[in-house]
Amino acid sequence: MRKVPELSLLSFVEGTNQDKNKFIDDLFNGFKEYGFIILVDHIVDDSVIKKSYEVVQKFFELPTEVKMQFVSEAGGGQRGYTPFGVEHAKNTNMPDLKEFWHVGREVPKDHAFKKFYPQNIWPGQVIPDFKDALSKLFHSLDQTSIAILEALGVALDVPPGFFKNMIEEGNSILRPLHYPPLKNINSQNAVRSAAHEDINLITILVGATSSGLELLDKDQKWLPVKTKEGQLIVDTGDMMSRLTNDVLPATTHRVVNPDDQNSSRYSMPFFVHPNPETVLECLPSCIGQGSKYPPINSHEFLMQRLEEIGLMK
């Protein structure tokens, strides 16, 4: 039976050199074999996760006309609310059965990256503690991503601080998602999230409130990704695939429809992006017989992909 590997992040953060080396090897092999790993422990406080789910659920339960007040004018769904049925997977026009919210990085007005980062939107007038809860979660997952990529950097033989410098002021996004009950929705030929690969370097997924996540395994069969409460799922995206010449693949995954048509599903992925000036080019340790992909600016790559999934026009 194939099963996504389960790892202890605390063994890397707090463990002995032997613990750290084992985590590095297991992380690299897990990403190489599956594109996914599960963290059974980590540095995100459980109270931060619970509070975030609490405010997110409150928001998505609001009437549609109230939620629509928080759609960003910046375009691309980069901040604030994106309504149900807007986003679709690459190479399909059938919208996913979901709605979501985006929280992004905030930088000072005179920062070089400010032109790339729209102002966050906060529904403070309807949910006063929304900003505080999701800002804390964003920060915690941001710190978690640094630890994961520091370990991965050792396996990929890059200089110390390589990934940390790449993502420290990166265009990372926290996306609280709501997959509503399907009882009053025409879900024929549509799923909660159609088969796709993530755009970014890695994604850290806070354990969802119900099952449904599946990855496409090497035998071309769908493998359920199951977690327990408090665990985190981490997968590699297209940007990591380009950097590593597909040594670490961007694994196709989906969220299937539930048997219970009355059930909602909430999840909170954190998409870890480099800063907008990063050039994505093959790492020396992965070049093998030659790079499969030409260098590309990470912001240009992101804009291309957002257009392909219906968020940019």
Where does the pLDDT of residue 312 fall: very low under 50, low under 70, confident under 90, or very high at 90 and above? low
Predicted local distance difference test score (pLDDT) of residue 231: 94
Could you give the 3-state DSSP secondary structure of residue 52?
helix
Q: How far is C-alpha 87 from the geometric centre of its chain's CA atoms?
A: 15
Q: Is 208 helix (H, G, I), strand (E, B) or coil?
A: coil
Which tens digits make up the pLDDT trace of 73-107?
Answer: 877 678 999 998 887 778 777 888 899 999 999 99
How confident is the model over 56-73, as a mean pLDDT?
94
For 68, the 3-state DSSP assignment is helix
Out of 29-33, 110-114, 183-187, 203-207, which region has the weakest mean confidence (pLDDT)?
183-187
User: What is the pLDDT at residue 310?
Assistant: 72
Instruction: Give the phi and the psi of residue 52 in degrees, each rounded to 5.
Output: -65, -45
| Distance from C-alpha of 215 to C-alpha of 255, rounded to nearest angstrom | 9
Distance in angstroms (rounded) separating the CA atoms of residues 83 and 103: 15
Closest CA to 197 of 173, 212, 215, 179: 215
pLDDT value of residue 23? 98
What mean pLDDT comes out for the span 287-307?
92
161-188 pLDDT, tens per residue?
Answer: 999 999 999 999 999 999 988 887 777 7
pLDDT of residue 9: 97
Mean pLDDT for the chain overall: 92
What is the average pLDDT across 285-304?
94
More confident residue, 209 or 312: 209
Residue 231 CA to residue 190 CA, distance in Å, equals 28
**Among the listed residues 265, 248, 249, the one whose alpha carbon sits nearest the alpha carbon of residue 257:** 265
Q: How far apart are the C-alpha atoms of 154 and 32, rounded to whole Å?
A: 15
Length of the chain in terms of residues written: 313
Spell out a b/e string for 63-76, using b for 16 or more CB atoms within 10 Å of the CB, else e.
eeeebeebebeeeb
Give 313's pLDDT tier (boundaries 50, 70, 90). low
The per-residue pLDDT for 221 is 94
Strand spans (E) along 160-302: 173-174, 177-179, 193-196, 202-206, 213-216, 222-224, 232-236, 253-255, 265-272, 279-280, 296-297
**Per-residue pLDDT, 161:** 95
pLDDT at 13 over 90: yes
Q: What is the structure's pLDDT at 129?
A: 97
- The domain covering 6-308 belongs, at the CATH homologous superfamily level, to B-lactam Antibiotic, Isopenicillin N Synthase; Chain (2.60.120.330)
**Structure confidence at residue 64 (pLDDT):** 94
Q: Which sequence spans correspond to the domains of the chain?
A: 6-308
Mean pLDDT to the nearest integer, 233-257: 95
How far is residue 142's CA from residue 146's CA, in Å, rounded to a whole number?
A: 7
Model confidence at 250, pLDDT cuts 50, 70, 90, reads very high
Q: How far is Cα 245 from Cα 293, in angstroms, rounded to an integer?
A: 7
How does strand 265-272 pair with strand 202-206? antiparallel
Distances (CA, A) of 150 to 101, 236, 246: 28, 14, 19
Q: Which amino acid is at 312?
A: M
